[in-house]
């Protein structure tokens, strides 16, 4: 095994719970991966100077935008990929647990750019991954548990516009913020939308393109517009549903 392939295999062995993976890479491909990773680590070292807290290695891709970084906490081995917009301006800040990944071009926006209507913020548990192009408008508090997978372009909207008074514009009536909770070990499919006030139970799966308006019981598989329970994953979950 040549130099860069050997270094790549060693890095994989350090950062996964598995033994070194036999990946079919050329020497040039291994070098490219190591170079990109090294540059991301250097950017992370610079950003760590501005974060509220950072407990270990931080990897930051090109074109990442972080505002109010003094309200952001990052755990170990957090990866923020290219073009991510991460806004820390929120009452409860942004907390990214160990091993969290924010996919390319995703956006986390608790508040307006101008400091008006301060949002609540976001907490993501260890090992969770936010898919590329996803949008989390954390104006109401969003809590995402451990080992949660969000596919590409998932949308989480933790507030609703008030509209009952027809004598005023909807814009004038403000919003209600009920937040969103996604418990541990959930999988949210591509382009799913999670609306305000929803709690998604542990071990649940939300199908691609679903619009979730109501709570999802633990261990359920839901899909459709609006989402409904299609089946339960386990017999114990079926009995408790």
Q: Would you please indicate which residues are annotated as catalytic (active-site) residues?
A: 161
Nearest residue to 144 via CA among 191, 198, 209: 198
Averaged pLDDT, 207-223? 97
What is the per-residue pLDDT for 173?
82
Contact 154, 188 (CB under 8 A): yes
Residue 3 has pLDDT above 70, yes or no: no
Give the β-pairing of 228-232 and 220-223: antiparallel
d(CA 231, CA 237): 10
Averaged pLDDT, 25-30? 72
Range 53-240 has CATH code 2.160.10.10: yes
pTM, rounded to two decimals = 0.85
**Residues carrying CATH 2.160.10.10, the chain:** 53-240
**pLDDT class for 19, splitting at 50, 70, 90?**
very low
Copy the structure tokens of residue 42.
Answer: 């250097």
Q: How many C-beta neighbours within 10 Å does residue 95 have?
A: 19
SS3 154: coil
């Amino acid at each position: 095994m040549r130099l860069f392939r050997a270094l790549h295999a060693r890095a994989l062995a350090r950062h996964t719970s598995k033994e070194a993976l036999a990946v079919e890479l050329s020497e040039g491909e291994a070098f490219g991966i190591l170079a990109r990773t090294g540059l991301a680590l250097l950017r992370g070292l610079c950003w760590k100077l501005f974060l509220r807290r950072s407990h270990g290695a931080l990897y930051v891709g090109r074109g990442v935008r972080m505002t109010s970084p003094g309200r952001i906490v990052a755990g170990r081995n957090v990866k923020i990929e290219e073009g991510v917009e991460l806004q820390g301006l929120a009452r409860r800040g942004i907390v990214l647990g160990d091993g969290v990944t924010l996919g390319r071009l995703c956006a986390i926006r608790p508040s307006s750019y101008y400091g008006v209507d301060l949002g609540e913020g976001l907490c993501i548990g260890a090992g969770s991954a936010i898919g590329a192009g996803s949008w989390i408008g954390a104006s109401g508090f969003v809590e995402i548990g451990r080992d949660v997978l969000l596919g590409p372009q998932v949308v989480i909207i933790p507030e609703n516009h008030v509209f009952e008074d027809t004598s005023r514009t909807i814009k004038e009536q403000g919003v209600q913020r009920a937040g969103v909770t996604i418990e541990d070990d959930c999988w949210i499919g591509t382009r799913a939308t999670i609306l305000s006030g929803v709690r998604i139970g542990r071990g649940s799966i939300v199908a691609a393109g679903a619009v979730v308006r109501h709570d999802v019981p633990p261990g359920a598989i839901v899909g459709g517009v609006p989402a409904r329970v299609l089946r339960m994953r386990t017999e114990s979950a079926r009995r408790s549903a």
